Structure 1
């Protein structure tokens, strides 16, 4: 088995197991059973948001190498600027806090925890009676990837592990060399500004706070895990603090735009299965719905 296939299999198996446990603990068996009956309608209702996300991901996969070349030739050369702004912050983080236990934790968080963090909200919000939150999440993901791809093209910058190899240790790859086979398929060394790991993780954490009434057990998992991903990007020597700050801005902007562009009133009423239901029991066209 190749290193890529080995790591990919491990990630998929681990994330599937975490999704199963989290679904039972956070969503609950009763809601999961209810979801199964209306699954097709909910997926159909979220089809446009899902298609938008798929289109952005496909465009990123196809155009990444070409856009990297454009960025290198014509983009803003920002490495020196970023280094001038923050200097040795990332080396200081490693020199101050690096140790076997934290390295193991943050390496797990960066790969396995991050994949779970992005996947579970899709399952959780698909289980809600209305699809507004799911559609907003998918739109926010698409905005993160789409805007990130544009900025990656406009800004050319190397990460701290490439700029200061004598001061910054690539801890993720030093302790998990096979992981490089996976990360190289989805990223390149110049894709550092902004940090998409940060922006997507913070997006999930923000949605976790916004949906704490629907899923009170998810919020205390989503927020610490998303912040762990943020710290991991710097602890492992992959991103600058500047990248992380830009990632926060991208996350909050994407969530704001997703909420502005997706109207909860567009949700169709959930079928109750009661033959006695009438149109009079449906919400008025102008009435809002709880997300």
Structure 2
């Protein structure tokens, strides 16, 4: 099997969720604005100068991290530390408590949130920021994603931490045993299932929540994002994936990336504009 069967499910489901969310969470005045054909040229100008560079950077960093195994093999990097042993000494089997309420229904729901809910949150945050013209928040969001991936990458290479489901005898790897396709996909990008510290699910979902809550005025979407982010935190423990330490490191990374992006946004976008030789202004009414 390959990751194609699962992706053929993830893509349409996330697109459907985004389509429905668009009509629920994007205010009507913004949706109507894009229906005006006279704005198409202006909107294209806005996209090119204020979005494309950041999408390119995020895409490049994402692919860079996903090709981790090729990079490790090419550079002949051998990890010297196995943090799971030290993490176990620190927190023991605490995460096993999350599986005390294990039920088939909760497992399927958690898997849906972990796979589809997480993907939807990251993608639709881009959509809603673009649709509502939150240019500064959009730039901060893209910058934060880039920082999170770049900071996490060295840890995955030099300090691998194996998932709790295949480390602790008291924890069942629920996500990996749910379906062979899921295991095949996850192991194709993380063969040893040891890209745990810090948790990207914790870091990226928390960071997206911070951006939406503090950098937008979308009240309904704020509520949804907070609930979804909290559910994601639960699933990383319940499904037998992350340690408490992974979660804490992910949360700290989320706040760090958000702080850097919001505090130094102007310096960063000037550098990006210089690199891409852009002179576009923000789209204004």
Q: Which runs of 5+ in 2 are unaligned?
A: 271-279
Alpha-carbon RMSD across the aligned residues, in angstroms, is 2.4
Pick aligned residue for 2:281 from 242, 245, 268: 268
Please report how far the alpha carbon of residue 180 of structure 1 lies from its aligned counterpart in structure 2 after TM superposition.
1.8
- Count matched residues: 268
Matched, 1:52 2:41: no
Structure 1 contact 212–218 (Cα < 8 Å) conserved: no
Cα 1:256/1:19, change in 2 over 3 Å: same
Runs of 4+ in 1 over 6 A off after TM superposition: 68-72, 264-267
1:60-209 correspondence to structure 2 within 5 Å: 60-67=65-72, 73-94=78-99, 96-164=100-168, 166-188=169-191, 189-209=193-213
Q: Which of 1 and 2 has greater Rg?
A: 1
Pick aligned residue for 1:224 from 227, 236, 239: 227
Task: Tell me how far apart the structure 2 counterparts of residues 39 and 63 of structure 1 sit (CA, whole Å).
Answer: 36
Structure 1 contact 71–155 (Cα < 8 Å) conserved: no
* Length-normalised TM-score, structure 2: 0.85
Pick aligned residue for 1:250 from 250, 253, 262: 253
Q: Deviations over 1:180-222 (max 9, x none)?
A: 2322333341101011111011111111211352x11101110
The aligned counterpart of 2:274 is none
Task: Tell me how far apart the structure 1 counterparts of residues 283 and 221 of structure 2 sit (CA, whole Å).
Answer: 23
Of stretches 258-267 and 154-163 in structure 1, the one that deviates more from structure 2 is 258-267
SS of equivalent to 2:187: helix
Cα 1:238/1:20, change in 2 over 3 Å: same
Of stretches 181-190 and 138-147 in structure 1, the one that deviates more from structure 2 is 181-190
Please report how far the alpha carbon of residue 72 of structure 1 lies from its aligned counterpart in structure 2 after TM superposition.
7.2
Of stretches 153-162 and 241-250 in structure 1, the one that deviates more from structure 2 is 153-162
* Length-normalised TM-score, structure 1: 0.84
Please report how far the alpha carbon of residue 71 of structure 1 lies from its aligned counterpart in structure 2 after TM superposition.
9.6
Cα 1:130/1:89, change in 2 over 3 Å: closer
